[in-house]
Structure 1
Amino acid sequence: MSLIRYYTFRIPSESAIYLLSLTAGGMDVVAFVKFHLVFTSAMTGNIALLGISIGNGEFLLSTHSLAALFGFLTGAYIGSMLIRLQKNLSLILIVEVIILVIYAFLWINIGFISSGIYLYIFIILSSGSMGLQSVAARLINVASIPSVVFTNTITSIVIQVYEYIRVKDKLPIAALRQIYALLSYIFGATIFSWLLYSAPDAAVMLPSLIIIIIAVSEVVPHKAT
């Protein structure tokens, strides 16, 4: 149930997940391009980059990955506390919006600073929002569809497509949802990459606008299939 008493519109839970996936793709692109090769939602890749940085003796770069990990884990922890306090999707998303608004406000008003304390603030705010979002996705609870990590999803898609080809049966709805979520992530990465160079302010403001849409809507549970 939303914190907003009177809903402006209803949105299927699958669509909410696709919007979250789009946001995650965009946030990862911005982070990778601007934050010196780190991710703020794909923590598996981030851990690999951390290992590479340490292995190459690039300890400054390793601190960027560590900051992303710290932010993500902190966001996920805060999301877990909010669920314990009140199992409310909108509450988690509103906290995420607040973080994203601060992130956008700092970026637009002081400009992007590629070194020093502000860089770490940007990394932690970005990854913290994605940690919260990962908890929100679990609360939406569309089976087999993530919003921030897609490695296992790709494996699952390949397995199900193989079975579909082998037995010539109908592709399961779960596989279709996973494919749509993955495409949403790719679409978000593509759009945000373009915005980052053509309209950078839009690239940092758009995530909060997307999350606001979900936060103020009524997320309708998907039908079991």
Structure 2
Amino acid sequence: MEPPAPPSPGPTRPLHIAVTLLVAAAGSVETISFLGLDHVFAGVMTSNLALLGMAIGQQQALNVTAAALALAGFGIGAAVAAWFTRRSGIPAARWQPRVMSCLVATTVILVVIAAVWAAVDGAPRGITRSLLQFAAAVAMGVESTAMVAAGHAAAPTTYLTGTLATYIVKGVGAVRQEHWIPVRFGALIVGAAISAVLLKAAPAWAAVPPVVLMLCALLAARGRWPLRWR
């Protein structure tokens, strides 16, 4: 009888911090997408499917287009990232180069979004608005797939409904490292709140927080910021 396979390694402390920062960035992007663009989500496709159904039922063509753009963008981003990471190797206790490359690509997309957003003073219109909506969804699709490719060394960052359900089912504090889950919930709220405040106080800067948070997450994943890891 063959011995059981060793359990897959979980995230290290730096990666837990990186995941938390990615969640905060996703929350910020969702605020921009929902409040600043077309009232659809960039990374929560279950909600967008429901919004699409409601728009179809109420015969609201603009809302149908917005939901379809978000769904298409996320799907394309996820598909490209899945193709790119399919040979990233066996998931380990660190993020493979292809996973990191996907996160870098997400950051680049968010930098472009932030630049365009600032150029239009936080008030995109017409085709620019649609392109930003599509790009935000692509970014979240790439990030989501990168976290799937990272396996047990990562966790969901753009949707936390399943995480919340699992946390409740298993019981608060029942699993080691589970204290990171409520930290991620808090990060989502904080990230969303930061961009929400900026949308009112300084609209042109509202798309900057996701970029900053992504950069911090990349540095944390490399173990170079803000602490020295043992």
Name the TM tier (shorter chain). 0.7 to 0.9
Matches within 5 A, 1:33-182: 33-84=35-86, 87-88=96-97, 89-142=99-152, 145-161=155-171, 170-182=173-185
8 Å CA contact 1:26–1:190 kept in 2: the answer is: yes
Instruction: Report the Cα distance in structure 2 between the residues aligned to 1:191 and 1:218, rounded to whole angstroms.
Output: 23
Instruction: Report the Cα distance in structure 2 between the residues aligned to 1:218 and 1:29, rounded to whole angstroms.
Output: 24
Cα deviation code 1:71-91 (max 9, x no counterpart): 111111221232146552321
Matches within 5 A, 1:195-210: 195-210=198-213
Kindly report the root-mean-square deviation, in angstroms, between the aligned alpha carbons of the 2 structures.
2.3
Cα deviation code 1:54-99 (max 9, x no counterpart): 1111021111011011111111122123214655232112211221
User: 2:9: which partner in 1?
Assistant: none
| TM-score when normalising by structure 1 | 0.81
8 Å CA contact 2:85–2:146 kept in 1: the answer is: no
Displacement of 1:12 in angstroms is 0.9
2:30 is matched by which residue type in structure 1? D
Match of 1:193 among 192, 196, 204: 196
User: 2:8: which partner in 1?
Assistant: none
Q: Aligned to 2:141, what secondary structure does the other structure show?
A: helix
The percentage of aligned residue pairs carrying the same residue is: 26
Displacement of 1:142 in angstroms is 4.3
Structure 1: stretches of 5+ with no match in the other structure? 1-9, 165-169, 221-225
Matches within 5 A, 1:13-32: 13-32=15-34
Q: 1:143 to 1:178 in 2, by over 3 A?
A: farther
| TM-score when normalising by structure 2 | 0.79
Q: Aligned to 1:64, what secondary structure does the other structure show?
A: helix
8 Å CA contact 1:53–1:62 kept in 2: the answer is: yes
Instruction: Report the Cα distance in structure 2 between the residues aligned to 1:177 and 1:213, rounded to whole angstroms.
Output: 17
Displacement of 1:103 in angstroms is 0.8
Q: Aligned to 2:178, what secondary structure does the other structure show?
A: helix
Q: 1:22 to 1:145 in 2, by over 3 A?
A: same
Structure 2: stretches of 5+ with no match in the other structure? 1-11, 89-95, 224-230
User: 1:7: which partner in 2?
Assistant: none
Cα deviation code 1:141-197 (max 9, x no counterpart): 346831011111121222233xx5xxxxx5323532222212211121122211221
Displacement of 1:216 in angstroms is 4.2
Instruction: Report the Cα distance in structure 2 between the residues aligned to 1:85 and 1:209, rounded to whole angstroms.
Output: 29
